[in-house]
Structure 1
């Protein structure tokens, strides 16, 4: 039996830690969601603040694997991907997965900024007017730009199987599921209107959700509900009056 991984992340939100949780669940490896246990928040704060040899993480998530402390979502997933067959064996394939994951991180950051366009130190209500402008641009311009790109990745993938990379599931597919799930929660009207625009991505998302370990996780209490303290937040007023662009011919 391998020593359980320790995941340090906020205990009440999916956030960026959820991308890591999905990989751990699919890999079927033991892990402890530290901050959700007794004394866990302080343990997480200690890990972030202390680090090892001066190599403190800037923010969670952090994964502890034996003597290793690994920060940054994409970095953690690159590690897990190589260790648990959630990425190609070749260096080229692993780098491609990491590149796609970093691009997913970019759109996740932009999604967060729709409700905090001025400062993370201000409440949403203190920047609601600016949020409406930012959300309109995100829905009309940025979501299509990113998801058109990811759709092209699926279509161009030479591997058979309809996945993002190669011929088998990778952590990028798990992350694409999480991205689409978050976008559907935050902007349900827009994503419904866009539904036919990205058939390849929608197939990837559906196939991920149907995988036995992922389906069991999604139905369990371990899967936290979306909420308005999270990265993806649903404020109906941010979709009000927004018209998405028509499907390309």
Structure 2
């Protein structure tokens, strides 16, 4: 039975972190919301799961994953479940909790990246909060990105197994998620991150090594990969970007 991934059609968003793991593993999966309604798929099928009164623990929002009768929500939780199944988790059990902690920290950065263009309220249009967004984005560039990226760079440097991967001596879902985080930030803030590779050489090398993986490279060039866009988490508004101080 195929794994069923539920996320909004047309958006990379938080669903992309799950897609990358599925693609790297060559997993058999279906993107429900991107399917045809005539086949029982589409956005309506996703919403019906969320609104199902017979489901005792319905997901609050996508992404969520169905594996048979098991329904799992929240990106980090999904990856914590999929990691061992897809051979993308550390073999040492104690390190699986380290990986999960790093994934949750990545989720923190993703939330802050979203809040650069929606600092006041998610229900307001960006155009209704542009002044506040500029303040928030510039603080994110000057203070938050360096703090987070310096931390992740240090994790790579201090990995006892070497600085190729974030956890252990083999690729895990956290490395794929780090690629996606960096890729999104480079899209949103190209001026601010112009010298990213100079400041964070290990992270830059990790980003490039993920791109070079055959299955990821094929995915990035396929129609399955949704392009970055200004309806998603990582948005490029030139007025929010600036050279890092």
TM-score normalised according to structure 2 size: 0.96
CA shift, 1:56, in A, is: 1.1
Kindly indicate whether the alpha-carbon contact (under 8 Å) linking 2:192 and 2:244 is maintained by their aligned counterparts in 1.
Answer: yes
- Counterpart of 2:114 (choices 101, 112, 115) is 112
Deviation at 1:85, TM superposition (A): 1.1
**Inter-partner Cα distance in structure 2 for 1:209 and 1:16:** 19
Shift in Å, 1:53: 4.2
Unaligned runs of 5+ in 1: none
CA distance in 2, matches of 1:65, 1:96: 24
In the alignment, structure 2 segments of 5+ residues that lack a partner are: none
1:52 Cα deviation after fit: 5.8
Does the C-alpha gap of structure 1 residues 102 and 51 become closer, same or farther in structure 2, counting only changes over 3 Å? farther
Match in the other structure for 2:4: 6
Select between 169-178 and 158-167 the one with higher mean Cα deviation. Answer: 158-167
**Is residue 2:13 matched to residue 1:15?**
yes
Q: What is residue 182 of structure 2 aligned with on the other side?
A: 180
SS at match of 1:69: strand
| Correspondence list, 1:197-236, <5 A | 197-236=199-238
TM-score by length of 1: 0.94
Change in 2 beyond 3 A, CA 1:152/1:121: same
The correspondence of residues 24-173 of structure 1 with structure 2, limited to 5 A, is 24-39=22-37, 40-50=42-52, 53-160=55-162, 162-173=164-175
1:91 positional shift: 2.3
Provide the rounded CA distance (Å) in 2 between the counterparts of 1:213 and 1:161: 22
For residues 52-83 of structure 1, what are the alpha-carbon distances to aligned partners after superposition, in whole Å with 9 as ceiling and x for unaligned?
64201111001111111100000000111011
Residues in 1 aligned to 2:98 and 2:232: alpha-carbon distance in whole angstroms: 28
RMSD of the TM alignment (CA)? 1.2
Length, aligned pairs only: 241
Does the Cα contact within 8 Å between 2:156 and 2:162 map onto a contact in 1? no
